[in-house]
Structure formats: structure tokens, C-alpha cells
Amino acid sequence: MPELPEVETIARDLRKAVVGKRVIRVRLSGLPLRRPVGGKFAQNLQGRVIRRIHRRGKYLIAEMEPRAFWLIHLGMSGRIFYPPPQNQPGRHVHAALDFSDSTGLEFCDPRRFGLLAVYEVAKISQIPEIAALGVEPLSSGLNRDWLAGRLRPCRRDLKAFLLDQGEIAGLGNIYACEALFRARLHPLRRCFTLNREEAGRLVCAVRRTLGDAIRHRGTSFSDFRDANGKPGDHQRFLRVYQREGEKCSRCGSLIARLCQSNRSTYYCPGCQN
């Protein structure tokens, strides 16, 4: 399930691989993703050259020339193959691009929660999905003062806040759980109850959790693979996620699980409060 570290890993791979390539053909499955991917999508990509690859939150953005932006969200199970696998026809391939140098790229998404779109706008910030995103967690915008200010009027619990892409862009279930563990904060704590010191702890925890995961090229359970088809390595370093019943590495209590917003939250009842 691609969150910020997984998307960043793919963005870094693609920067080396596809910048400068011209799209000459786009084939679509015709099946809808989060939104239908129409023929206009293919028309808008064909003939354009990939100039830069950006990441914002969990979105990949290919900056095209003449000016347009190709927006990609991997959803739950989206994968990008560069180059596409040779030996087997890809199942669940929803977009296949051919480049002018005879290479190609495929977007595959079994669960179809992903998103593909092209926007002919002047700036990335004019893309509606991007404009709706909150602070980038690895930027200076995420700091103790900013977070304390956002938490003060908020009555939600911390986990829901961390998952809100309009607040902090890029955290999903895995890294929200891990960051709360690292910050020693209980996922059910109401946001407004945090003091400045705790807000500062959470900022550090989010940054370090994401930074470590990027260094390990993301977390792979079943779905995530980088652009070359290789799994990430960070699952070996998770301290609470999917470790229900195991001993906490910090205090020895047993890791517990609860259900929040229909998602599993893993935490240590001994040292998160």
C-alpha cells in the first residue's frame, strides 16, 4: 500500500529512467479507476515529452512538454513497471505507454483505487487534487509551532488527524501507527489535549519514520514494488504495525490492535499515552 516513502522511491527510480522520453502511444484498459480514464487522457499524453518527475504527498506528477502535468495516484495496489515485464502479459494493466526510443511503461492496479489524469495547467498547484493537500511532512512547513496550532482547535483523535491528507500529505495507516509509537502518543488521544512538547515529539517522529522508510526503499507486504519490480525492505523495521500480540521493543508490553475509522490501528498500551 503505497504511502509517501513508497511513492518517493518510485519517483527517484523514474527520474533516472524516463525523463526526456517522448510518449508516442497510450493504450488503456477502458476500465475505470477511482475515476474513468478517458480517451482524452491518451490524447493529452501522446506527443509530449517527460521533463521532470515530482512527488507531492502520495501523488506522482510527471511534468510534460508542451506544458501539462500527468497526475498518478497508486491507490492501494497501483504499480508502475519500467520496463514492463516481457515474459507475461500484464494482468490489470490499465495504461501502457510506448516511448519513441522503443521502451515503454505500464500502470497496473488490481484494486482500481488509483488515479490517472492529465491537467493542462501552468503550475502544479493548480491541479485540484494537489491544491487540497496539506503540509509536506519532510519540508520545513511541518514544525512544532505549525502542528501545535493545527491541533489546538481540533477535536478528532490523533490517528484520524495524521491520516487527513489535507493536514499532512503522505501518511497512511502504516506510518501513522509507526509515528505515533515513536512519539509515545496514544492513537485515541484527542488532538487538542497535546501540549507543545508533545507536538514537537510528533513532528520528529513523523520525519524520522518517513526518513527511515525512504532509506529502506519503502515497506512491502504483498503489493508494493518499486519501478524495477523489487520489494522494499522497511517491513523488517516496523515496530507496531501488524505486530499484534508481540512484545513491545521499548517496554515489553504486548502490542494491541484497535479499529479506528474502519482501519486497524496498532499501538503499545504500555508506553503510548
Partner DNA sequence: GCATTACCCTGAAAGC
Partner DNA sequence: TGCTTTCAGGGTAATG
Residue numbers annotated as active site: 2-3, 58, 263
Helix and strand counts by DSSP (H, E) for the chain: 7, 10
SS3 263: strand
Q: How far is the CB of 273 from DNA (least distance, A)?
A: 19
DSSP H helices, the chain, are 4-18, 39-45, 128-131, 144-151, 158-163, 173-182, 196-215
91 binding DNA? (CB under 7 A): yes
Residue closer to DNA by CB (options 100, 261) is: 261
CB atoms within 10 A of CB 25: 14
111 binding DNA? (CB under 7 A): yes
233: left (phi over 0), alpha (psi -120 to 50) or beta: alpha
Count of residues in contact with DNA, rule CB under 7 A: 31
The residues in 36-65 that bind DNA, with binding defined as CB under 7 A, are 57-58
Distance CA 259, CA 158 (A): 14
262 binding DNA? (CB under 7 A): yes
From candidates 160, 202, 238, 268, binder to DNA by CB under 7 A: 160
3 binding DNA? (CB under 7 A): yes
1 binding DNA? (CB under 7 A): yes
112 binding DNA? (CB under 7 A): yes
The residues in 174-233 that bind DNA, with binding defined as CB under 7 A, are 174, 222
137 binding DNA? (CB under 7 A): no
From candidates 22, 54, 92, 184, binder to DNA by CB under 7 A: 92
From candidates 25, 34, 216, 230, binder to DNA by CB under 7 A: 34
CA-based torsion, 124, 126, 130, 134: positive or negative: positive
From candidates 100, 253, 261, 273, binder to DNA by CB under 7 A: 261
Distance CA 62, CA 26 (A): 15
Residue 10's closest CA among 50, 48, 63, 55? Answer: 55
Binding site for DNA (CB under 7 A): 1, 3, 34, 57-58, 73, 75-76, 91-92, 110-113, 129, 132, 154-157, 160, 163, 165, 172-174, 222, 261-264
